[in-house]
Amino acid sequence: MSDRLPIHTTINGVDHSISVEPRTLLVHLLRDELGMTGTHTGCDTGQCGACTVHLNGRAVKSCMVLAVQADGQHVTTIEGVAPTGSLHPIQSAFWEQHGIQCGYCTPGMIMSSLSLLAENPDPSEEAIRDALEGNICRCTGYTNIVLAVKEAAARIARGDVPQPIS
Amino acid sequence: MYPYPFSYHRPATIDDALDLIGQFGEDGKVLAGGHSLLPIMKLRLAQPAHLVDITGIDDLRGIREIDGGVEIGALTTHHDILSSSLLASRVGLLPEMAHVVGDQQVRNRGTIGGTLAHADPAADYPAGVLALDATIVTIGPDGSREIAAADFFTGFLETALTSGELISAIRIPSLAEGTGFRYEKMANPASGYATVGVAAVVTLAPDGSIFGARIGITGASDVAWRATLVEEALVGTTPSDESIRAAANLAIGDQELLADVHAPAEYREQVTRNLVFRAVKIAIGNAAGR
């Protein structure tokens, strides 16, 4: 009953034809089968948001999506936001504003923030906090994360593109 | 955290879905957004042998204008509801409620049909569909049925859906001129679910008296209910804080309230009365401006 099923999914612009057990969660496909460990498993119960990725451009918790449900869909993970060796403007903003301490929640924070900025390029502090309600950080107290998202909005608005890590 | 093994099916049409659901019976579960079902499968509180994923059926998705109101396909996500200008202009309570369902990621994935079929006693929408006098449209082996929201929620995680039946859409009549609405929610700070949630829809007559009122309450009991005693006490009155407070105190009726580690029944009762007062008062304020 748990035969593997073939799926075709585009992850960070690359087509993957793979077979998965139906009960495999998207986060486990990414981490355990494809070795893309930028997406983190936190609570594994849909609360913490550390596993947030984009499915067809919108933030979802990859521990609450079956890998088979990504069949025919587009997935973007933290590895896909900027070319290897460079930082997306939002990653630079998290760096500059120190929107990060242990770093565990950061990939999810960035994916949720990008989903917000795609819809609302100039969000208020309230809108940022609202959009990040599903992402838990146990270190920062959120203040610098909010500042980082604000700065990311400004960087994207002025046309910043990914920069090589210096 | 892995669910028990199951076989996975993704029908492309409603007919194929109904065939599969009928064939699997109690061994099958319908998967929509998955944000109620997958958590309980991961915790192994549910272990269906077959999952029928209906998200490939486009006929079940989308928001349409219909005669006298709107129709929302069962697979429409909370995000699509909260960002719909058609819903905002016709049945504004629903997008207002969609905004407080879960969080951004949940709203991008979770569906209105899924949450109504799951009938979690602490979910938000049950209060809303009651206050909006919605109709739940189903499709099953014997054809389509229309079930009034007031008849839909029958108990803890129980609905009027029969075996082999799916929700296909939710129909909601447009709010009349002079109608205000409000959803007041006391959220559990950890889960975000409603410890108590009250949805109020109030229509004022031109003279400022209350012409109609509908109030749905979720979270407080093991099933959402219409506070008909409050509605009857409000209609025909010219509202004041005192009259709204007196009506709100009738909110519980003969409902048996939940008691758990988060809130004893006495506390839920007090919160319910207060939230009914607030929701009705704010709805009246909104109605006066329409």
DSSP string, B169-197: EEEEEPPPTTEEEEEEEEE-TTT--EEEE
Number of domains in chain A: 2
pLDDT, tens digit, 9 for 90 and up, residues B120-161:
999 999 999 999 999 999 999 999 999 999 999 999 999 999
Q: Do B64 and B174 contact (CB within 8 A), yes or no?
A: no
DSSP string, chain B: --PPP-EEE--SSHHHHHHHHHHHGGGEEEESS-TTHHHHHHTTS---SEEEE-TT-GGG--EEEETTEEEEETT-BHHHHHT-HHHHHH-THHHHHHTTSS-HHHHHH-BHHHHHHHT-TT-SHHHHHHHTT-EEEEEETTEEEEEEHHHHEEETTEESPPTT-EEEEEEEEPPPTTEEEEEEEEE-TTT--EEEEEEEEEEE-TTSSEEEEEEEEESSBSS-EE-HHHHHHHTTS---HHHHHHHHTTSSTTPPBP--SS--HHHHHHHHHHHHHHHHHHHHHHHHT-
pLDDT value of residue B189: 86
CATH superfamily of B180-288: CO dehydrogenase flavoprotein, C-terminal domain (3.30.390.50)
Nearest CB to B39: which of A46, A58, A59? A46
Angle between helices A89-96 and A143-157 (to 10 degrees): 140
Residue A1 has pLDDT above 60, yes or no: no
Which CATH number characterizes residue A32's domain?
Answer: 3.10.20.30
Q: How far does the CA of residue A54 sit from the closest CA of chain B (Å)?
A: 9
Tell me which of A80, A107, A127 is where a domain ends.
A80
Does B104 contact A24 at a Cβ distance shorter than 8 Å?
no
Which CATH number characterizes residue A128's domain?
Answer: 1.10.150.120
Nearest chain A alpha carbon to B83: A119
State the ipTM, two decimals.
0.95
- Kindly list the residues from chain A whose CB atom is less than 8 angstroms away from the CB atom of residue B192: 133
Nearest CB to A23: which of B3, B10, B190? B3
Could you tell me if residue A165 is inside a domain?
Answer: no
The CATH classification number of B60-173 equals 3.30.465.10
Residues A46 and A92 in one domain: no
Residues A66 and A91 in one domain: no
Residues A27 and A48 in one domain: yes
pTM of the model: 0.95
Could you tell me if residue A166 is inside a domain?
Answer: no
Tell me which of A28, A50, A80 is where a domain ends.
A80
Domain ranges of chain B: 7-53, 60-173, 180-288
Domain boundaries, position A120:
86-159
Distance CA B70, CA B172 (A): 5
Residues A92 and A34 in one domain: no
Beta-strand ranges (E) seen in B99-178 are: 135-140, 143-148, 153-155, 158-159, 166-173
Distance CA B150, CA B86 (A): 24
Nearest chain B alpha carbon to A24: B2
Residues A68 and A123 in one domain: no
- Kindly list the residues from chain B whose CB atom is less than 8 angstroms away from the CB atom of residue A2: 5-7
Task: Tell me whether B189 touches chain A (CB under 8 Å).
Answer: no
Residues A71 and A108 in one domain: no
Cα separations (Å) of B88 from A93, A108, B7? Answer: 35, 30, 40
Could you tell me if residue A71 is inside a domain?
Answer: yes
Mean local confidence (pLDDT), A33-62? 96
- How would you write the pLDDT of chain B (290 residues) with one tens digit per residue? 889 999 999 999 999 999 999 999 999 999 999 999 999 999 999 999 999 999 999 999 999 999 999 999 999 999 999 999 999 999 999 999 999 999 999 999 999 999 999 999 999 999 999 999 999 999 999 999 999 999 999 999 999 999 999 999 999 999 999 999 999 999 998 888 999 999 999 999 999 999 999 999 999 999 999 999 999 999 999 999 999 999 999 999 999 999 999 899 999 999 999 999 999 999 999 997 66
Is the fold of B7-53 the same as that of B180-288? no
Mean local confidence (pLDDT), A114-143? 96
CATH T-level assignment (fold) for domain B7-53: 3.30.43
Residue A2 has pLDDT above 90, yes or no: no
Residues A14 and A71 in one domain: yes
